[in-house]
Structure 1
Amino acid sequence: MFDIPSNKPYLIRALHQWCTDFGFTPFIAVFVDERVEVPLECVKNNEIVLNLSTEACHQLQIENDWISFQARFGSIPKKIRVPISHILAIYARENGQGMSFPYDPLQARGLLGKDAPKGVDEKPKPPRPSLRVVK
């Protein structure tokens, strides 16, 4: 038997395309740990929300394992790299429509489907992102 790859990157690409096609601003909520490359001064409670619109980011690549792009934070260009496993949600800023994903620390460490080492602590689990519809 073989491992079926995650459908998460495909769903993220589809929702990003949907947002773009209909003029919405695609945002992602990200759980931040040592594998995530973002400006740490923008991180609150181990989370950051990033704007993935064509106006906000350049050289956007949504691959099966990583999202990467360049963006400006306080007029300073930064390279951003986020593992797909750390994405908590993708949604349209304007109406909150999108999808949230569970965060699995074992998957994020690349241990899912393998024998997890004894004593692997699954904490900290981030709070579930709350998406709300603003009318």
Structure 2
Amino acid sequence: MNALDSTSTRPYLIRALYEWCTDNGFTPYVAVAVDETVQVPREYVKNNEIVLNISFDATSSLQLGNEFIEFKARFAGSAREIMVPIGRVIAIYARENGQGMAFPVGSSPAASPAASDAAPATAPAALSDAPSAAATHDAPDSKIMQLVPDTPSPAGGQDPDSPEPPKSPPRTRPSLKRVK
């Protein structure tokens, strides 16, 4: 069996980062590229992306499988069934510090029975911000990206001769950094 015939590493990395988040008391979030194969509340989709809290407290019956992430969650008090194909996961990260991993978005597979039940992605606004992914295809030579905080490190990196203290950014949203 060669590397092209083996299964994807994405579901294993997602499960590993989920476990890392929960072991360290962080809240695991997944960013998802929404298309017709994704079953999520469309009213919370923004720019064809949605960020989902997949912590133990926010979900019921969570299954991190090799093909899908499935769980039940409440949105505005209403219970909803969520089903996300693993290939549509853009990133998994800890809400508290932004550490995690981003993935290139794979091409949409052929319509499956679950995909025919999903509504088209035409919802107006989301309640959460989603990190955007730079890659839009899943090629063998594509690189994995890592989420890193947008703020400077406390160890320094500032010019000591500068007359003004550096201004902090208005928000500390994580950004993507390529890891080669």
What TM-score, normalized to structure 1? Answer: 0.81
**1:27 corresponds to:** 29
Alignment partners' CA distance in 1, 2:101 and 2:26: 14
- The count of residues paired between Structure 1 and Structure 2 equals 118
Query: Identity rate of aligned residues, in percent?
Result: 55
For residue 101 of structure 1, the aligned residue among 89, 100, 103 is 103
Query: Between Structure 1 and Structure 2, which shows a larger proportion of helix residues?
Result: 1
**1:6 corresponds to:** 8
One-letter amino acid matched to 2:21: C
Alignment partners' CA distance in 1, 2:27 and 2:91: 14
User: Counterpart of 2:14 in 1: which secondary structure?
Assistant: helix
Deviations 1:33-82 (A, max 9, x none): 01000000000000000001011001000000000000000000000000
1:104 deviates by: 2.1
**2:17 corresponds to:** 15
User: Counterpart of 2:79 in 1: which secondary structure?
Assistant: strand
Return 5+ residue gaps in structure 2 as ranges.
111-131, 135-145, 150-171, 174-180
For residue 56 of structure 1, the aligned residue among 58, 61, 68 is 58
RMSD: 2.1
For residue 128 of structure 1, the aligned residue among 130, 133, 138 is 133
Return 5+ residue gaps in structure 1 as ranges.
111-126
1:15 deviates by: 0.2
**2:141 corresponds to:** none
1:132 deviates by: 4.7
**2:75 corresponds to:** 73
Structure 1 stretches of 4+ with a deviation exceeding 2 A read 129-132
1:109 deviates by: 1.1
For residue 92 of structure 1, the aligned residue among 74, 94, 102 is 94
